[in-house]
Amino acid sequence: MGQLLIVDDDLAIRELMKLYLKNEGFDVVEAQNGKEALKIIEKQTIALLVLDIMMPEMDGWEVIKKIRSTDSEIPILMVTAKGETTHKIRGFQLGTDDYLTKPFDPLELVLRVKALLKRAKINTSQKIDLGTISLNRQSYEVLKNQEKIGMTLKEFEVLFTLASYPNQIFTREQLITHIWGIDYEGDDRTVDVHIKRIREKFVDSKDIFLIESVRGLGYRLVIV
């Protein structure tokens, strides 16, 4: 596994994060601004990024944009000040995987890091199991109790994407770009249509997973 990169201009916060993460056995490196972070990412294998937003030299927004512009799949845990809801929304729109609100409980930081690393590991797989439901991206088959469930290619891709990152919120724009492509010119409400169809096909599987609507943001899959 690669290293965890903590990016924050506050030395005390970096030291606190490093202490708890190292106690869990993680290898941690630090940067005090976005420019330092990008130089480290270019030279080292980074498994996950813990990223503050408001920093000198280069802020967190610019870091996220530069990382995601290269199609990097590095999980990003964004750190934002209390009450800054607009920051959370913007972060998800740019490609953040999760967020942590300051002041935070260091134990919550550890749990969120572990959850993101687990999701990243799942995402590299071509097969996902949700209880009795199995998704196979090589054959594009969905089985429930070994019985095939008919789905269109786009329905499968939406479900597979959401299931690859349990509890992560995806905006409609993110799903459109990832599944339909950046040049898609249709209405992004097509995502709502596909979500509705998926829900209908798994209406009797609410004890296994749910696809939740997150008001003002998008959708996420929750494993029950």
Question: Is the pLDDT at 28 greater than 70, yes or no?
Answer: yes
| Same domain? 13 vs 39 | yes
State how many domains the chain has: 2
| Same domain? 39 vs 59 | yes
**What is the structure's pLDDT at 125?**
62
| Same domain? 73 vs 182 | no
Residues in Cβ contact with 148 at an 8 Å cutoff, skipping those fewer than 6 apart: 141, 142
| Same domain? 159 vs 189 | yes
Percent of the chain with pLDDT over 90: 41
| Same domain? 174 vs 213 | yes
**What is the structure's pLDDT at 122?**
58
Q: The pTM is what?
A: 0.59
CB atoms near residue 147 (< 10 Å): 8
Burial class, 171, CB count within 10 angstroms (exposed 0-12 / middle 13-18 / buried 19+): buried
Q: SS3 for 72-88, per residue? A: CCCCEEEEEECCCHHHH
- State the CATH number of the domain containing residue 211: 1.10.10.10
| Same domain? 159 vs 193 | yes
Q: Residue written as tokens 């609410």?
A: 206
- State the CATH number of the domain containing residue 108: 3.40.50.2300
| Same domain? 168 vs 88 | no
Amino acid (1-letter code) at residue 189:
R
For residue 168, the enclosing domain spans 127-223
Rounded Cα–Cα distance for residues 113 and 74 (Å): 12
Question: Is the pLDDT at 44 greater than 90, yes or no?
Answer: no
pLDDT tens digits, 68-94: 887 567 899 998 876 667 777 888 888
| Same domain? 86 vs 190 | no
- CA nearest neighbour of 97 among 169, 179, 161, 7: 169
| Same domain? 194 vs 169 | yes
**What is the structure's pLDDT at 54?**
87
pLDDT tens digits, 121-132: 655 567 888 889
| Domain stop point among 105, 123, 141 | 123
Give, for 172, the enclosing helix (H) or strand (E): helix 172-175
| Domain stop point among 123, 143, 164 | 123
CB atoms near residue 72 (< 10 Å): 14
**What is the structure's pLDDT at 215?**
85
The pLDDT-based confidence of 95 (bands split at 50, 70, 90) is confident
Report the residue count for the chain. 224
